[in-house]
């Protein structure tokens, strides 16, 4: 186990009555709030009115910036930075899922910055300060409500890049599982896949003697796998929705990182797919992760055997560890298929005409991707070829 420092700063208000605390929490940070959200779903559900009422009761002045899209765009982030500077905003309140929260964080680090915010995502500069960001979570998936990261897409060149810094954890997160009842099944499944990928990126490590966090990862994966069919079959099952929502937070708040070094190659490969084709991040991960597994499992067959046995209950066939590992990967694909996720690039509408471009872009600014097995340009290309399903 490696040495580590765990720094969790986000206040979490979880449960059926969580929204009643929005105004109270927001008022701790000043008088002017930027309400940041996507499209009309929060208005159709009534959440928009509830948020506005709560903020008004706390005497807060509200400014709005809507229009966040999946794979949030740099142009809207820059618009938000200018609005916050002009109006002297005290708090950004992100109402939505990971895309809205990531956009809010980008605005938050961009407002006090002396450089262009995109420099942070290119690694040319390091954010030193972020405006207070609050969250009202509606989509359990990205874990951005408590994470230290943000991912933004630059429309100029279709580059999708991430920045991670401890200052980027939101100040508070309001989490009511009831607010996820109306999520479409596909969006629910994409979120489930995303949070599973967050766990698996951490699980596949070269660090030894991490049995506690191995078992925390496995328990969280099994909780998601067990509750996923329930929420898809019975969308208003509060208990199952609560398990999924809390699992998404635990998957990406840093707890499962402790003492280990994760991989993150699959995430960075997928960023090139969704950056170009604008597919749902979770759907892209359902395709990339099994392809990555097939390409690298020989590096540490024992870890893949552990994954297969502890997560998917594969029976041990002593003396045939590779077959056990391969069966674990098959069961992961079967699970993704069972919840309506794609497992090949053609299912996403992606052909092989831009595989080389994606492999090239994945290595822009770095020598290789991943830590479990370093992936160079040809490795990324080969994984994408496996993801074609041919």
CA distance 228 to 231: 5
Q: What are phi and psi of 153, to 5 degrees?
A: -105, 130
Secondary structure (DSSP) of 186-213:
HHHHHHHHHHHHHHHHHHS-S-SS-HHH
pLDDT of residue 242: 98
Contact between residue 259 and residue 213 where contact means Cβ atoms under 8 Å apart:
yes
Q: Are residues 134 and 21 in the same domain?
A: yes
The tokens 């809507």 sit on which residue? 66
CATH classification of the domain holding 279: 1.20.1090.10
My answer on whether 166 and 277 are in the same domain is no
Sign of CA dihedral 381, 384, 388, 389: positive
Query: What's the number of domains the chain is made of?
Result: 2
φ and ψ of 311, to 5 deg: -95, -40
- Other beta carbons less than 10 A from residue 22's beta carbon: 26
Would you state the pLDDT for residue 318?
74
> Beta-carbon neighbour count of residue 357 at 10 Å?
12
252's tokens: 């990406």
Alpha carbon separation from 285 to 19, 119, 194, 203, 337 (Å, rounded): 31, 26, 7, 15, 13
Q: How far apart are CA 222 and CA 203, in angstroms?
A: 13
Backbone dihedral angles phi then psi of residue 100, each to the nearest 5 degrees = -65, -45
Position 351 scores a pLDDT of 94
- Cβ atoms of residues 286 and 343 within 8 Å: yes
Domain assignment present for residue 272? The answer is yes
357/276 Cα distance (integer angstroms): 10
Is residue 5 situated within a structural domain?
Answer: no
Quick one: 97 and 113 in the same domain?
A: yes
> Same domain, yes or no, for 275 and 173?
no
Task: Determine the structural domain holding residue 237 and report its residue range.
Answer: 185-387
Residue by residue, pLDDT tens for the chain (390 residues) are: 999 999 899 999 999 989 999 999 999 999 999 999 998 889 988 999 999 999 999 999 999 999 999 999 999 999 999 999 999 999 999 999 999 999 999 999 999 999 999 999 999 999 999 999 999 999 999 999 999 999 999 999 889 999 999 999 999 999 999 999 999 999 999 999 999 999 999 999 999 999 999 999 999 999 999 999 999 999 999 999 999 999 999 999 999 999 999 999 999 999 999 999 999 999 999 999 999 999 999 999 999 999 999 999 999 877 899 999 999 999 999 999 999 999 999 999 999 999 999 999 999 989 999 999 999 999 999 999 999 997
**Residues 190, 109 within the same domain:** no
Task: Assess whether 189 and 173 both reside in one domain.
Answer: no
Domain end call among 164, 179, 194: 179
Direct distance between the N- and C-terminal alpha carbons of the chain, in angstroms, rounded to an integer: 39
Contact 107, 72 (CB under 8 A): no
Is 149 in the same domain as 272?
A: no
* Interatomic CA distance for residues 244 and 240, integer angstroms: 6
Q: Considering only CA atoms, which of 135, 133, 137 is closest in space to residue 111?
A: 133
Q: Are residues 360 and 218 in the same domain?
A: yes
Residues paired with residue 150 on neighbouring β-strands, in sequence order = 163
Do 332 and 263 fall into the same domain? yes
pTM of the model: 0.94
| Alpha helices (H) in 65-97, listed in sequence order | 74-87
Nearest to 323 by CA among 297, 347, 345, 342: 297
Whole-Å CA distances, 24 to 42, 59, 138, 163, 335? 20, 10, 19, 30, 41
Q: What is the Cα 299 distance to its own chain's centre?
A: 26
Ramachandran angles phi, psi of 73, nearest 5°: -95, 145
Tokens 């954890």 locate to 169
Q: Looking at 179, 205, 224, which one is the last position of a domain?
A: 179
Please tell me the predicted confidence (pLDDT) of residue 41: 87
Of all helices (H) and strands (E), which one includes residue 11? strand 11-14
């Amino acid at each position: 186990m490696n040495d580590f420092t765990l720094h969790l700063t986000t206040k979490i208000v979880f449960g059926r009555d969580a929204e009643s605390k929005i105004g109270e929490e927001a008022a701790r940070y000043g008088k002017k709030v930027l309400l940041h959200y996507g499209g009309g779903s929060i208005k159709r559900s009534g959440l928009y009115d509830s948020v506005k009422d709560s903020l008004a009761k706390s005497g807060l002045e509200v400014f709005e910036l809507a229009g966040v899209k999946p794979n949030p765009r740099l142009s809207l982030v820059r618009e938000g930075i200018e609005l916050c500077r002009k109006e002297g905003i005290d708090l950004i309140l992100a109402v939505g899922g990971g895309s809205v929260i990531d956009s809010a964080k980008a605005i938050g680090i961009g407002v006090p910055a002396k450089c262009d915010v995109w420099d942070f995502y290119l690694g040319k500069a390091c954010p030193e300060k972020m405006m207070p960001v609050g969250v009202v979570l509606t989509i359990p998936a990205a874990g951005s409500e408590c994470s230290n990261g943000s991912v933004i897409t630059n429309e100029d060149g279709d580059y999708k890049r991430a920045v991670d810094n401890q200052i980027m954890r939101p100040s508070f997160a309001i989490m009511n599982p009831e607010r996820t009842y109306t999520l479409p099944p596909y969006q629910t499944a994409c979120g489930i896949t995303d949070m599973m990928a967050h766990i698996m990126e951490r699980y596949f490590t070269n660090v030894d003697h991490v049995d506690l966090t191995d078992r925390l990862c496995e328990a969280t994966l099994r909780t998601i796998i067990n509750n996923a069919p329930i929420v898809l079959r019975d969308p208003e099952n509060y208990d199952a929705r609560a398990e999924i929502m809390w699992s998404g937070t635990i998957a990406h708040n840093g707890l499962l990182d402790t003492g280990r070094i994760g991989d993150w190659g699959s995430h960075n490969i997928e960023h090139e797919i969704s950056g170009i084709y604008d597919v749902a991040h979770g759907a892209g991960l359902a395709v990339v992760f099994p392809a990555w597994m097939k390409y690298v499992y020989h590096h540490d067959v024992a870890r893949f055997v552990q994954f297969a046995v502890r997560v998917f209950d594969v029976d041990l066939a002593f003396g045939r560890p590779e077959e056990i590992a391969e069966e674990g990967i098959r069961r992961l694909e079967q699970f993704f298929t069972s919840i309506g996720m794609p497992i090949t690039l053609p299912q996403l509408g992606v052909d092989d005409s831009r595989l080389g471009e994606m492999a090239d872009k994945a290595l822009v600014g770095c020598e290789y991707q991943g830590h479990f097995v370093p992936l160079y340009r040809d490795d990324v290309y080969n994984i994408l070829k496996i993801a074609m399903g041919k």
